[in-house]
Amino acid sequence: MSPIGHFTAAFAAKPAAPKVNIFILLFSTLVLDFLYFAFAAAHMEGPKSPVPWSYPWSHGFFMSVVWSVSFGMLGWLIYRQRRAGIVIGLLVFSHWVLDFISHPMGFGHPVLPDMPLLFDGSPKVGLGLYNHISVTQALLIETAMFIPAVAVYVMYILRQRKNWFAAVPAGGG
């Protein structure tokens, strides 16, 4: 799934984590991809023979749970709020869930599942939605998810501003 699809979860989750900056929520949805790039730079993940791609440390189910719990705990420590930590952890894990639905990304050319349950050599999973549709159709699906999520976020922000203005005493002070 592209960042647009992953960002959907962050915008929709903002009302559940009012203390957490939207950029932190957006970052949380892409943590697994940032980890992939770091592990690929360290030659721990990436293209390998005979498997086309290998990413057990960033996108494997087990490690996605580990990263989700770790970042959720970090969010709880930073914000001193259990809810913030839970939302951040769930957003990190939402990346795996959305990738599970969409991976592998064959775009009309069937490819075998590519997301390991544990580490290299473990069974790989993925429902393969993007094996059966075109890039254009994938973008349409992600846009159809993104627009209502942004609407939730905008409505939340407008409601917060209305509440803020209502709390300001008449005459400015």
Distance CA 15, CA 79 (A): 15
- The model's confidence at residue 50, banded by pLDDT at 50, 70 and 90, is low
Q: Residue 26 is encoded by which pair of tokens? A: 């957006």
Mean pLDDT of 33-57: 81
In tens, the pLDDT along 87-121 reads 999 999 999 999 999 887 777 777 777 888 998 88
Distance CA 102, CA 108 (A): 12
pTM of the model: 0.87
Q: Report the range of poorest mean pLDDT among 1-15, 33-47, 145-159.
A: 33-47
46 - beta bridge partners? 54
Nearest to 116 by CA among 40, 62, 51: 62
List the domain boundaries for the chain.
3-172
